[in-house]
Structure 1
Amino acid sequence: MTVILQRLRGSWSIYSHTMGKIATATFSSKASEVSLEDAGDKPLMDMENPFRREKMQCILCRHKVKVDYKNVKLLSQFVSPYTGRIYGRHITRLCSTQQKKVEQEIIKSQNAGLMAWYLKGVEFVHDPQLFSPEQPIRPHRF
């Protein structure tokens, strides 16, 4: 038995050498709209892809947190307690837009005198961590 798949003007036709025309499928511009004519017992597939991964989002985007320079408790999570340096994206796992906002708001908070420049505030040292600085996504540059 030979099966031939033929495309004519936006529709696909399946022909069998012994049985003749089996089914005609017409596809529209949307991938989810498929109409089958004379398909017999074949099920219509309108199910979403079960193997598609869900979109990765950073923790601030996922919880819709608005970053503000007055929220020192949140901003101190992104500063090293020993050197006062701002952690990079490979450690914080933030998206690029949120990382830029966090960096700008930390600098704005430091200029306003709400955060220290060289050390993390003592009152924020034992706060729960949003990420682990010891387990970055990629290794350090050095």
Structure 2
Amino acid sequence: MSLLGRILNPISRLGLRSSSLQVIRNYTPGEKSDTLDKPVDIENPFVKEKQQCILCKLNIKPDYKNARLLSQFVSPFTGRVYGRHVTRLCTHKHELVKKEIVKARNAGFMPYYNKEPAFLNDPKLFNPEKPIRNHDYC
């Protein structure tokens, strides 16, 4: 084939083989494709499960008379309330816990600066040593 024939022939310029040419010749644009090629409607498999705080998951409402539950959210060394990044509570429940801790302390159910020794061996709801982000107290 001459050089001019190669330039004018677009199929040979693409570098397609004869088997590819058969597919191109057999394809017609108006033809409907198979039903197997249609997209399938499914839920996104990569969507993460919505995280819930432990109090919302178990449907627990904090109460100032339940000092054992409230003491889980207080540091045994300083008496400070752990932050949300440590306890992994939602904003609403964290605010409720803080208000109930203040009520419990004012009513005399909880100490201000340390944790009740009877509550030190309770099972942990979270690990204060592994917060979401760093904190300056334990």
Say whether the fold is shared (TM-score over 0.5). Answer: yes
Distance 2:136 2:69 in 1: 26
SS of 1:20 mapped into structure 2: coil
Equivalences for residues 47-62 of structure 1 within 5 A:
47-62=42-57
Gap runs ≥5 in structure 1: 1-16, 24-38
- For residue 81 of structure 2, what is the amino acid of its counterpart? I
Gap runs ≥5 in structure 2: 1-26
Larger radius of gyration: 2
TM-score by length of 2: 0.72
**RCO (CA 8 Å, sep 6+): is it higher in 1 or 2?**
2
TM-score by length of 1: 0.70
Query: Which of 114, 125, 129 does residue 130 from structure 1 map onto?
Result: 125
Equivalences for residues 1-142 of structure 1 within 5 A:
18-20=28-30, 22=32, 40-42=35-37, 45-140=40-135
Displacement after TM superposition at 1:122 (Å): 1.1
Distance 1:76 1:141 in 2: 19
Q: In 2 relative to 1, CA 20–62 (structure 1 residues): closer, same or farther, beyond 3 Å?
A: same
Displacement after TM superposition at 1:47 (Å): 2.1
Q: In 2 relative to 1, CA 40–91 (structure 1 residues): closer, same or farther, beyond 3 Å?
A: closer
% identical aligned pairs = 53
Q: In 2 relative to 1, CA 41–88 (structure 1 residues): closer, same or farther, beyond 3 Å?
A: closer
Deviation per residue, 1:29-63 (Å, 9 max, x gap): xxxxxxxxxx6334662321111111011111111
RMSD, aligned α-carbons? 2.0
Displacement after TM superposition at 1:111 (Å): 0.6
Runs of 4 or more consecutive aligned structure 1 residues displaced over 6 Å after TM superposition: none
- The number of equivalent residue pairs is 111
Q: In 2 relative to 1, CA 72–139 (structure 1 residues): closer, same or farther, beyond 3 Å?
A: same
Structure ranking higher in strand proportion: 1
